[in-house]
C-alpha cells in the first residue's frame, strides 16, 4: 500500500511537556544564518544540517481503498554529521491504521544532505539532499515492496535585512523544499513533492528588533504555518499546518494541526506533535561532533 507519511517525529504530548521542563533558555541551534535560527520544522524539512534526533507523532484521517481510514504514526529520524556541512540520516515509522486494521513499520529510509551556501548578512541558507525509502524493509501490511528515491533542494530566508521602516517584519522567515520522487516499482507513479513554511520568530523579535517584555515560555515560541504538497498523476494533495514551535539551545517542542487542502488529502483535521534534540549543542565534543571536523 502507498501511505504518505512525514519523516519527522515526536513523543506523545505528555512526554513533550515533561521534557520542556528540563531544557534551559534559547541560545543557538544547528540551522543558523546570521542572527536567524531556522527551527527543525515538522512537515517541510529545514535547510540546515546537524547532529540531531527528531521524534514525532502524527494522526490523520485519509482516503483508503475501502473508505476513510485513520492513521496513527510514531516516527523517528536520526541525523549524523560526517563533516560540518554533510550529514547522513536514518528514519523509520511505526504505523497503526484501521479500515483495514494493520500495524507495523513502514519502510525505513536513509538520506544524505549537504549544506551548499550560507549568507549571514541576508539570513539565507540552501542545501541539497537525497532520501531513499527502502522497499521491503517495513512490514508487509504497511510498507511498499518498491523503493522511492527523492533528490531535494532546501532553502531558507530570514527578513532581518529589511529597513527600519519595516522592522516589525524582520522576525519573518520562509523556508521551502522541492524535488521529484522516483519509484522503482513497475507501474508505480512518480511524484513531485514541494512545500513552504512561513514563520514569525518571537525570539528574534525580542533579541534583534525590540524587547517587548514577553515572558517565558512565550518569548521562545515561533508561530508557524507549513504547507507540504505533492503532485502525482495530475492530482495535488497536501495540508496546511498552522502551529507553534518552542525552541531553546538543546532542543525544541512543536505542535501543528493538519488541515487537508482537498478531499483526496483527507477528511478531518489531523495533528503533528514533535520533540527534537540537538546533539551538536548537548554534546558538541562527543556524539554531537562531526566525524571529520
Q: Which residues pair with 69 in a beta bridge?
A: 62
Is residue 6 assigned to a domain?
A: no
Is residue 293 assigned to a domain?
A: no
Residue 64: per-residue pLDDT: 74
Who has greater pLDDT, 101 or 57?
A: 57
Cell digits of residue 253: 517542542
Report the range of poorest mean pLDDT among 57-66, 133-142, 205-214, 237-246.
57-66
Q: Which pTM was predicted?
A: 0.88
The parent domain of residue 143 ranges over 13-282
Rounded average pLDDT over 139-164: 97
Is residue 256 assigned to a domain?
A: yes
Tens-digit pLDDT profile for residues 271-291: 999 999 999 999 999 999 999
Is residue 234 assigned to a domain?
A: yes
Written in H, E and C, the secondary structure of the chain is CCCCCCCCCECCHHHHHHHHCCCCCCCCCCCEECCEECCCCCCCCCCCCCCEEEEEEEEEEEEECCEEEEEEEEEEEEEEEEECCEEEEEEEEEEEECCCCEEEECCCEEEEEEEEEEECCCCEEEEEEEEEECCCCCCCCCCCCCCEEEEEEEEEEECCCCCHHHHHHCCEEEEEEEEEEEECCCCCCCEEEEEEEEEECHHHHHHHHCCCCCCCCHHHEEEEEEEEEEEECCEEEEEEEEEEEEECCCEEEEEEEEEECCHHHCCCCEEEEEEEEEHHHHCCCCCCCCCCC
Rounded average pLDDT over 234-245: 98
pLDDT at residue 174 greater than cutoff 70: yes
Tens-digit pLDDT profile for residues 62-76: 887 777 889 999 999
Rounded average pLDDT over 219-238: 98
Is residue 1 assigned to a domain?
A: no
Residue 74: per-residue pLDDT: 98
What CATH number corresponds to the domain at position 244?
2.40.160.40
Counting the structural domains of the chain, the total is: 1
Q: Is 214 exposed, middle or buried (0-12, 13-18, 19+ CB in 10 A)?
A: middle
Residue 30: per-residue pLDDT: 74
Amino acid at each position: 500500500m502507498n501511505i504518505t507519511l512525514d519523516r519527522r517525529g515526536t513523543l506523545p504530548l505528555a512526554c513533550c511537556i515533561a521534557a520542556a521542563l528540563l531544557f534551559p533558555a534559547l541560545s543557538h541551534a544547528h540551522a543558523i544564518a546570521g542572527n536567524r535560527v531556522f527551527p527543525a520544522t515538522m512537515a517541510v524539512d529545514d535547510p540546515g544540517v546537524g547532529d540531531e534526533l527528531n521524534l514525532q507523532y502524527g494522526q490523520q484521517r485519509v482516503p483508503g481503498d475501502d473508505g476513510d481510514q485513520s492513521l496513527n504514526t510514531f516516527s523517528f529520524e536520526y541525523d549524523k554529521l560526517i563533516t560540518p556541512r554533510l550529514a547522513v540520516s536514518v528514519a523509520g515509522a511505526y504505523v497503526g491504521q484501521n479500515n483495514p486494521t494493520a500495524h507495523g513499520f513502514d519502510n525505513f529510509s536513509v538520506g544524505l544532505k549537504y549544506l551548499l551556501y550560507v549568507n549571514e548578512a541576508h539570513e539565507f541558507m540552501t542545501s541539497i539532499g537525497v532520501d531513499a525509502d527502502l522497499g521491503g524493509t517495513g512490514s508487509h501490511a504497511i510498507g511498499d515492496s518498491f523503493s522511492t528515491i527523492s533528490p531535494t533542494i532546501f532553502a531558507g530566508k530570514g527578513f532581518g535585512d529589511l529597513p527600519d521602516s519595516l522592522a516589525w517584519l524582520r522576525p519573518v522567515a520562509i523556508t521551502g523544499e522541492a524535488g521529484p520522487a522516483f519509484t522503482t516499482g513497475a507501474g508505480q507513479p512518480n511524484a513531485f513533492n514541494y512545500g513552504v513554511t512561513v514563520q514569525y520568530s518571537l525570539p528574534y523579535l525580542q533579541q534583534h528588533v525590540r524587547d517587548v517584555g514577553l515572558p517565558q515560555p512565550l518569548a521562545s515560541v515561533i508561530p508557524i504555518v507549513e504547507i507540504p504538497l505533492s503532485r502525482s498523476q495530475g492530482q495535488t494533495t497536501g495540508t496546511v499546518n498552522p502551529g507553534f514551535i518552542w525552541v531553546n539551545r538543546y532542543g525544541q517542542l512543536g505542535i501543528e494541526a493538519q488541515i487537508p487542502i482537498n478531499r483526496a488529502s483527507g477528511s478531518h483535521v489531523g495533528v503533528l506533535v514533535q520533540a527534537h534534540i540537538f546533539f551538536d549543542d548537548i554534546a558538541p565534543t562527543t556524539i554531537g561532533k562531526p566525524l571529520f571536523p
